[in-house]
Amino acid sequence: MSQRFDELKQYLDRAMALQAALQLFEWDDATVAPKGAGKLTSNVIRILSGEYFQAVNNEEVKSLVKACQGDESLTQIQAAQVRELAEELEKLDSIPKEEYQDFAHLTSEAVRVWEEAKEKNDFQLFAPTLKQVIEYQKKFASYRAKDGQKKYDVMLNDYEPGFNMELLDRFFDTIKKEIVPLLKAVADSKVMVRNDFLTGEFSDDQQERIGRFLAEYVGFDFSKGVMAVSAHPFTTNLHNKDVRITTHYHHNLDSSLFSIIHETGHALYEFGIRDDLTQTLVGQGASMGMHESQSRFFENIIGRNRSFWIPIYEKLQEVFPQELSEIGLDMFVNGVNKAEPGFIRTEADELTYSLHILIRYELEKELIEGNLSVEDLPQMWADKYEEYLGIRPENVREGVLQDIHWSQGSFGYFPSYALGSAFGAQLYYHMKKVMDFDGLLAEGKLEVIRDYLRENIHQYGKLKDSRTMLKEITGEDFCPEYYVKYLKEKYGKLYQLDS
């Protein structure tokens, strides 16, 4: 037993409790809080955030961390917590406190400015603020860069430890080379995929009924979880015994169905984290990309797989007899896989999704490392959509202003979405070797797949990074070719392309 770690643990526990409170406020705000509460509740949140900052970032903690770093009596889990905390402290310490606070203030303003600009479809409203956000992030990255590290690499590493531009350039080059022509071939295909039956007057009650069924079927444990409604679906958790997902109910049925499966994928990760890790700094997903790998794995590789629907498609028809009794299983599965270029990332199908991310990656690199100016951003955005997806956004609301991320200062975050899909594909081809993947789906034995993922990924939290886990599980380093292979096989079959 390390006495220093015990002292440090008091700070870690405070930080954990404050973090849980902040999570709860975020959940509450998105799901139930009254509209009028915002301003006064934000006072509360500002103070609690300050308390959190204070709990992890003070002289006492710094000296305890230093002492613990040399302490060989620490358990593996304790050492991992010290490592995470040390990284966080190093990050905060390299940035002058005043600049850090100014930036926090700027981004909270920036989100509001972005909302207004998006609402008014006016990029010029947002441009000056975005310029400032980028300047701060570049400055912070240069403070933090080690041994000639590039600024954008510093940012990427925050979301996906172990990844950098070199790896991602190779990844996105592969995508560009393979997916752009594949999408062209799909567009030229004579196969007409119907999905009109997915749009209609699906009642919220019915959508909720099938949504709860699906969540539970996929593995969501309602004794340790909650499902609610919010404007944008998300997953949050207080610990591994309290995991919460949200969805929304629209006129297109697939939106709620697949967002629920997606969020359940995130939720399974959180449920699966070991009891001795939850409520610690390492009791979270290994990385953004690994988290997205689980959600997108369940949403797409499982949820849009014909075998998945074999045992339960009748149930879906039962809930929507009017809308689906005439639609057969194959027509339904083909419909939810239809590929169509669109402007909005969050509504994209599996094939075009990676191109939305490719565009953002290229633009971020140009903004941070290259010479792209904020003024030229909307033009460049539109050019790239035209080049890769063959469509040109006519307004900034459906173009460069669609995502919240940049207003929050999140540069380097987008690649994780595509990485997640690619991790998932690599896992998929490996799992097909060690189990009868499609057979299990067809028999409704999802627990075998779930247990495998829990055993190999979920339980570890942040004890291992995503690249290490991939290597240990599949025997290979990260390999984007599996993702391309997956998309080619899937869409080649659906659109009857010659391969």
Which residues are near a copy of itself by CB under 8 A? Answer: 13-14, 16-18, 20-21, 24-25, 28, 32-37, 39-41, 43-44, 47-48, 51, 221-226, 228, 238-242, 278-279
Nearer to a copy of itself, 238 or 374 (CB): 238
What is the distance between the alpha carbons of residues 415 and 176, in angstroms, rounded to a whole number? Answer: 14
226 versus 442: smaller Cβ distance to a copy of itself = 226
Of these residues, 88, 115, 160, 263, which one is catalytic? Answer: 263
Q: For a copy of itself, which is the closer residue by CB, 273 or 400?
A: 273
State how far the alpha carbon of 272 is from the alpha carbons of 17, 160, 221, 358, 450, in Å: 20, 20, 11, 31, 9
- Residue bearing tokens 């770093």: 69
DSSP string, 86-100: HHHHHHHHTS-HHHH
Give whichever of 17 and 77 is closer to a copy of itself, judged by the CB atom.
17
What's the closest the beta carbon of residue 13 comes to a copy of itself, in angstroms?
A: 6
Q: Give strand pairing partners of 244.
A: 226, 236
Tell the smallest beta-carbon distance from residue 39 to a copy of itself (Å). 7
Tell me the closest approach of the beta carbon of residue 215 to a copy of itself, in angstroms.
Answer: 13
Contact between residue 174 and residue 480 where contact means Cβ atoms under 8 Å apart = yes
- Residue 273 carries which DSSP code? S
The smaller minimum CB distance to a copy of itself, of residues 24 and 404, is found at 24
- Residue 414 to residue 361: CA distance in whole angstroms: 7
Report whether 180 contacts 260 (CB < 8 A).
no
> How is residue 326 written in tokens?
């005439």
What token pair was written down for 397?
């609301």
- CB neighbours (10 Å) of residue 191? 10
Q: How far apart are the first and last CA of the chain?
A: 61
Tell me the H-state helices in 435-465.
437-442, 446-456
CB of 101 to a copy of itself, least distance (A): 15
> Which letter does DSSP use for residue 297 in this model?
I
- Pick the closer one to a copy of itself by CB: 20 or 497: 20
Nearer to a copy of itself (CB atom), residue 50 or residue 128: 50
Question: 229 in helix, strand or coil?
Answer: strand
Active site residue 263: yes
Return the residue matching tokens 């909720």: 208
| Least separation in angstroms between CB 64 and a copy of itself | 18
**Nearer Cβ to a copy of itself (6/476):** 6
Structure tokens that stand for 237 in this block: 């958790």
Distance, CA of 242 to CA of 221 (rounded, Å): 10
- Assess contact for 283 and 277: CB atoms under 8 A: yes
Cβ at position 16, least distance to a copy of itself in Å: 7
The nearest distance, CB 207 to a copy of itself, in angstroms, is: 17
Q: How far is the CB of 119 from a copy of itself (least distance, A)?
A: 20
**337/193 Cα distance (integer angstroms):** 9
| Cα gap 353→342, rounded to integer Å | 9
Name 35's Cβ contacts closer than 8 Å, sequence gap at least 6. none
Residue 37 vs 344, nearer CB to a copy of itself: 37
Residue 216 CA to residue 213 CA, distance in Å, equals 5
Q: Give min distance, CB of 464 to a copy of itself, in A.
A: 23
Among candidate residues 11, 10, 86, 94, the one with its CA nearest the CA of residue 53: 11
C-alpha pair distances (Å), 338 with each of 26, 135, 194, 267: 34, 40, 8, 26
C-alpha 45, offset from chain centre:
24
Task: Return the active site residues.
Answer: 263
